[in-house]
Amino acid sequence: MNELAKELNDVLDKSVVSSFLSPLGRRMYFPKGIVAQSAEAGEKAKKYNATVGLATKGGEPMHLSDIYSRFEEGVYQPKEIFNYAPGGGDKALRALWKEEMIKKNPSLEGKSFSSPLVTSGLTHAISIAAQMFIAEGDEVVCPDLFWDNYDLIFTDLVDAKIIPFDFFKDGGFNIDGMKKALLSARKDTVRLILNFPNNPTGYTPTHEEAMMIVSALKEVAKEKKILVIVDDAYFGLFYENETEKQSLFTYLCDLDENIFAIKGDAATKEEMVWGFRIGFITYGGKGLTDEVYQALTNKTLGAIRCTVSNCDRPGQTLLLDAMKNGKHRDDDKDKLFKEMNLRYDIFKKELEKYKDSTLLRPYPFNSGYFMAFDTLGHSAEALRRYLLDEYGVGAVNIFDRTFRVAYCSVEPEKIKDLVALIYKAAGEIWT
């Protein structure tokens, strides 16, 4: 094992984090190679900097004029578009994202947690967490209604075992089911992933439920060490007053010394820049020191370095500029929220017309981009294919029992017809 990895492990061995490091996680480190030496030279090499493999002329990256000309003249320098970004992301963007995390989650004020690191989308953040903190045979507790990419990441990528529990109980989040699943884990360590607003159901716990989740995790932490991955992909799209408006990470990052929390964010959704593939990964835990956070950062930088090397530079430049200087950013985000809220309201209203249906049952939903149906023993894949072939309507089958509808991509005036076609198709193939 590399000496740098050993040094980082020595730091992490003093904390709960050590209990979760996978063999790969223990081997990971950020090398003092080209990238580190280039960063140092960037600060000190005032005469000549012959470190990074980037062709320059006059101090700026050489570039294709056909690309640069697409940007408004004088707004961005070539280095802001064509240069490499630092491995952990633009420092100013990371700092600003942390500031905004606290604004959006006021209970984070004064709490200790790491500086967010830029990832290539939220999937990349979850993948890093899986590879570094979940090993072959480890158990990952997860509600049974989950994004299908979790299977690919946790089961196929790192060869862990997903332990599902029923998502809903009595019309709300199944806290007892979560607690029982955690306590049933074979080892004294257990992993949990929670995604709110949930994909595929579009459900977020109420504030009361969120506090009960926190309390349940505090109880489990008396018996087991828990790693909680908080997938906040659709954070902020909350449409009901009673819905919890802060990330669970806010409550978990200082809850108990036996709880290690990882927050995954997606600027892709929150800032309406889906194709930019910009995400963030942040660490928190009660009693974790700055030294521990730095060790975690260095291991994560290593994980980024040996996969994507670094993340998209022009996307980070444009996002940072919009967050700092954008004249229309707040208005545009407000318009998005109002539009999604409108579509949510229309969809909920239309579903009332079919409340007595025995073919499809909507799962509770109150947030995000989606809603989903329980197909009540019928094949969700059959419904998906029939709607696509007969009516030209696309939706998603998940595990052949859940039918997900992304109302975020359907105009408000079309939602009534969409809902009618879904129930019409279900009646045609199942009755």
Report field, pTM of the whole predicted structure over 0.85: yes
pLDDT for res 387: 98
Given a contact cutoff of 8 angstroms between Cβ atoms, the answer to whether 75 and 326 are in contact is no
Cβ atoms within 10 Å, residue 104: 17
Torsion of CA 24, 29, 30, 34, to 10 degrees: -80
Give the pLDDT confidence of 140-157 residue by residue, as tens digits: 999 999 999 999 999 999
- What's the count of helices (H) and strands (E) in the chain, helices before strands? 17, 15
**What does the pLDDT read at residue 53?**
80
- Which CATH topology does 3-30+85-325 take? Aspartate Aminotransferase; domain 2 (3.40.640)
Average pLDDT over residues 364-378: 97
Mean pLDDT score of the chain, rounded to an integer? Answer: 95
Could you report the per-residue pLDDT of 34-50, keeping only the tens digit for each?
A: 666 666 666 676 666 67
pLDDT tens for 174-189 read 999 999 999 999 999 9
Q: What is the pLDDT of residue 45?
A: 64
CB proximity list for 87: less than 8 A, separation 6 or greater = 30, 35, 301, 304, 305, 309, 310
**Residue extents of the structural domains in the chain:** 3-30+85-325, 330-430
| Integer CA distances (angstroms), 191 to 41, 64, 220, 423, in order | 40, 47, 12, 38
Residues of the chain with pLDDT > 90, as a percent, come to 90
Q: Tell me what pLDDT residue 59 has.
A: 84
In this predicted structure, the answer to whether residue 333 has a pLDDT above a threshold of 90 is yes
Contact in structure between 224 and 183 (CB atoms under 8 Å) = yes
Quote the CA–CA distance of 82 and 90 in Å, as a whole number. 14
Are residues 210 and 244 in contact, defined by beta-carbon separation less than 8 angstroms? yes
Mean pLDDT calculated for residue range 383-408: 97
pLDDT digits (tens, 9 = 90+) for 228-284: 999 999 999 999 999 999 999 999 999 999 999 999 999 989 999 999 999 999 999
pLDDT for 56? 85
Q: Which CATH number fits domain 330-430: 3.20.20.100, 3.40.50.2300, 3.30.930.10, 3.90.1150.10?
A: 3.90.1150.10
User: What is the rounded average pLDDT of the residues 352-379?
Assistant: 97
Rounded to 5°, the CA angle 322-109-93 comes to: 25
